[in-house]
Amino acid sequence: MKNLLPLLLLPALALAVYDYREVDLGNWNNQFYNDGRWGIDITQGSGVAGGYWRDSSYVFGAGVWVGGIPAGETLVTNGYDPNSGGTEFYPTPCIYWRQGENDPRDRIYMFPGDWPPPPNRYPWAPLDPNGDIMLWSCCCDSYPGNHRAPGVPIGVDLYVTVYYVDDSLGHDIFLIRYEAINRRGVDLDSIYFGMCVDADVGNAADDMSGLILDKLFWVNGETLRVRDAGFAWSNDGRPSGAISVRVLRSPTGVGLSAFKLFALSGDPTTDAAQYMALTGHNWWPPYEYEPYDSLDVTPDDKRFLLSTGPFDLPADSLCEAWYAVAAAPFSTTGHPQPGDTNELALRLWYAERLLEQVTAVAEQQTLLITASFRVAPSILRPGRTILLAGTGKTLAVNVFDSNGRLVRTLAGPAELTWDGTDSRGRVLPAGVYFLQAGDQGSARVQVVPRQR
């Protein structure tokens, strides 16, 4: 067990419902929480490892970081603080946290099981499962009490979806999609996503880390190209394995913009230091820009951070980033340099195939718009169109933005397509929009976001 500061594991005043789910499929056993964390077991006092591959500890804790510069102030909200084991996210969306309610619906939903998330609480949540096991949860960073002083909230909701696929290579892989929605009311500038992983392969103090920025591998007679992945292994000389995290998709398509390594004694603990890490800078003087820490020669209690950005996030808009987590057999001889990485490369390459498989299934929302409930929300994601299918011969739908402004009126046959533009043909930012039945009476509308 690590010696953690007893900070931010749970807030002193827990008004929301803190929930976790354990997933045991194939070679992975993981714990996931509805506050941005995964791979840590906080049920054991100060916490123990919660990410196991082939029955051995591979992850002590992990989670997403979101950083930006709203109104000129450098802010980072971390979904896993490696220095404390805590989180700065709060397990309910921004629109609910001020109500101070202990709502049992604010939890993790899992397929198979209690799927789907209730549409009356989470109308933006997915309905149809896209994997053999799937988890979904929602949190926000608006609760000031969860932020390490003097940190303050950025003003974002975070939707987290986890996908597992039950096949031979999939037994070593799972995917995580992070979606951030700007609830601050003003545009957010220079936003970064980051995945922070405290990788403990076996013992905590003998970990090594490496980087696959862009490399060709010859595996089983095939040439495989792998990009944007960091990995860790144990330097104790015993046969074990390696864990890797890969950036699969980013809001701007830039992929991995920084890979930073640090040890327990050098954690970036302030918002400014964490943002420096997200941007690829060192957080100690003279603050050099060194985005890819690929040289690692000393075993230690290591963490690594994979970030992507920068991008701007307009008010009420949505962006998403996809990460793959993979583990594979990995041989070392006690030498600081990594051994054979082909098995790991194969799984990281296969993660792209899993992403294609998962995103090939269209997410659907069935919204009942009646005389008593005539307005229903829907998410417009980047690069997608929305199909509106009514039950009658004709259909009329008004589209409003989150500020209540009418941006488009759609009318015509029982099936309409909205391409995400307003009445003047201008492309609207991704985000939450509200659909209202027109004057032709009640209608059942099926909203099917079309793929990129």
List the Cα angle 31/257/148 in 5-degree steps.
Answer: 55
The full 3-state SS of 4-50, as one line of letters, equals CCCCCCCCCCCCCCCCEEEEEECCEEEEEECCCEECEECCCCCCEEC
Is the pLDDT reported for residue 361 higher than 80? no
Which tens digits make up the pLDDT trace of 196-245?
A: 999 988 777 888 899 999 999 988 888 999 999 999 988 876 667 899 99
Q: Any idea which architecture 20-359 has in CATH?
A: Distorted Sandwich (2.70)
Least-confidence region, from 259-263, 299-303, 305-309: 299-303
**Cβ within 8 Å of residue 418, ≥6 positions away:** 385, 386, 387, 388, 399, 408, 410
Position 333 scores a pLDDT of 54
Q: In this structure, are strands 375-380 and 431-437 parallel, antiparallel, or unpaired?
A: antiparallel
Question: What are the residue ranges of CATH 2.70.98 in the chain?
Answer: 20-359
The residue written with tokens 């309905």 in the block is 127
Q: What is the CA radius of gyration of the chain?
A: 22
Q: What are the φ/ψ torsions at residue 71 (nearest 5 degrees)?
A: 55, 35
Position 288 scores a pLDDT of 96
Q: What SS3 class is residue 384? A: coil
Which tens digits make up the pLDDT trace of 175-207?
A: 999 999 999 888 898 999 999 999 988 777 888
**365-449 is a CATH 2.60.40.4070 domain:** yes
CA distances from 94 to 38, 143, 158, 432 (A): 21, 9, 10, 14
Question: What are the residue ranges of CATH 2.60.40.4070 in the chain?
Answer: 365-449
The residue written with tokens 């509200």 in the block is 434
Position 83 scores a pLDDT of 86
DSSP state letter for 286: T
